[in-house]
Chain A
């Protein structure tokens, strides 16, 4: 199993390693420096004492000489004094040996001193004490040898002091180098740990960032590869769980949405056949007026009218359901604005005549063709005109106008109705919403006309809006794009306005 320590334990390890390395380097360095200092002082003292001892040995030798050959001729050599001086000398040698320890150079020098002193005592001191006279050259030579050996020992001791000093300096310098190298090593080791840590986090974090962006962009299938330190890996797992949950929710929502759409589609479709039959037979009855009495005829008429309303409502619901389900297809093509507006004006004229209203259709001159499905935009215009017709009082004027606004064609239906308040305008395109002002209580219709108009205009890539001042009527506008490869309206048929309706 691959060891995967957590982020915090990785940081803790890096911190502890740093502390341990720094502590070890510092402790060893300081200890070493202290040791060097102590050794240096010991050596210095020791070699200084060797130097002192060399003076002492020289003094002992002078005493030996004085005992063997007194300063004044009438004095006799003193063997006891000579023995005492010789003992002092050998004590000094023993002491010096202790001090010199394993220093070979000084040991050699001391040995030479001892040898020369022994030689002097054998060949000069002892004969003198016995009253003999050594050879004149012998005494001078051996005395000089002892003196020179003692001087050599003193010089050696001083040299050793110098050596100890330079050794201490050298050792101190080397130790400082080692400490610096150790500290650098510690820093490098910790940097390697930290960079390892950062690298182990970078790739999984980057994956998480990319994943979150894709998810936010709507790709609910996004999952990230889980990896890195425990905490980052846990974040990755949590991210994937969240994505699972989002995807599940979205699927469930889509499924419910789909069920709803299918339900509405099916219900509307299934309702249509019986309604067609009811309407057809009711209409047939109203055509046989002579064979019905007044009440039967009235009943047949109401059935036919209600079935007609029901049929219209079912068609509207089907349109909306299809639009919601994305199944409402539009067949956009370059369409003449003038002939479309006039066709719908003609088609709607009877409704306006019925309420003694005046319908004006006015299309701007030389309008280019609009990119639209003529049946569907005709339906939009019919819905807007139906709305205007129903909400305007008898005898009112309603205007359908089309004009160019920039790269678009604007259609506007203006009525003479009671108008709408600002809060009502917010809801006017909602399904089954109806204005509630007193006069319009009796208005029929499905309450779906404007919602369908909005849906159809938006399917065309256009936009619809409503403006109104209460008491002064309302205007519904929508815009559609101009057809790219459409023609301009022919000049000769472009009359300013065409009036329709008005029959009293």
Chain B
């Protein structure tokens, strides 16, 4: 089963993403900030997820920082960054930091699922 790690600072958004992605047939691990996301990755060890969904803006440790640390440690896990819709430069910056793809927020569900299927497929 395809496994996803989803990090978002809003609990309700996280729950909604988890339930809907589970309905789509994915196995979902959640994290409420960057620290937790790194913890979950550590716990998983070599059994790493197929795709990470990272919210760019999170307290404590942002998605951008997590992305940088991952790439610095040589990880090649696909990362789908989710960033505020209005920040026009965000996608270019994310891609240059090593994101596999970007998704502006708010998004249409079908669009998100399309990207996830492509990246984790």
Contacts and interface: CB of A to CB of B under 8 A. Distances in A.
Interface of A: 272-277, 280-281, 283-284, 287-288, 311, 315, 318-319, 322, 327-331, 373, 375
Interface in B13-49: 13, 15-17, 19-20, 23
Nearest to B86: A322
Contact of B13 (A273, A322, A375): A273
Contacts, number: 47
A329 B89 contact: yes
B88 A277 contact: no
Chain A at the B interface: mostly helix, strand, loop or mixed?
Answer: helix
A311 B106 contact: yes
B64 to A, nearest CB: 18
Contact of A277 (B13, B23, B109): B13
A375 B86 contact: no
B86 A276 contact: no
B12 interface: yes
Contact of A274 (B12, B23, B89): B12
A315 B88 contact: no
Nearest to B16: A280
A477 B23 CA distance: 45
A284 B88 contact: no
Contacts of A283: 20, 109
Contacts of B105: 272, 276
Interface of B: 10, 12-13, 15-17, 19-20, 23, 85-86, 88-89, 105-106, 109
Given A277-B16, A315-B85, A331-B88, 10 more contacts: A273-B10, A273-B12, A276-B105, A276-B106, A277-B13, A280-B13, A281-B19, A284-B16, A284-B20, A322-B86
Nearest to B9: A273
Nearest to A308: B108
Nearest to B10: A273
Contacts of A311: 106
Contact of A330 (B15, B17, B23, B88): B88
A373 B19 CA distance: 36
A177 B13 CA distance: 108
A329 B13 contact: no
Nearest to A331: B88
**Nearest 10 pairs of A and B residues by beta carbon:** A280-B16, A277-B12, A277-B16, A331-B88, A329-B88, A273-B10, A284-B20, A276-B106, A281-B16, A277-B13
A311 to B, nearest CB: 6
Contacts of A288: 23
Contact of B86 (A280, A284, A318): A318
Interface centre among A274, A280, A283 (most CB of B within 10 A): A280
Contacts of B89: 329, 331
A287 B23 contact: yes
A351 to B, nearest CB: 14
Contacts of B109: 280, 283
B12 to A, nearest CB: 4
A315 B13 contact: no
A276 B109 CA distance: 10
B16 A272 contact: no
Contacts of B86: 318-319, 322, 327-328
B19 A284 contact: yes
A474 B105 CA distance: 33
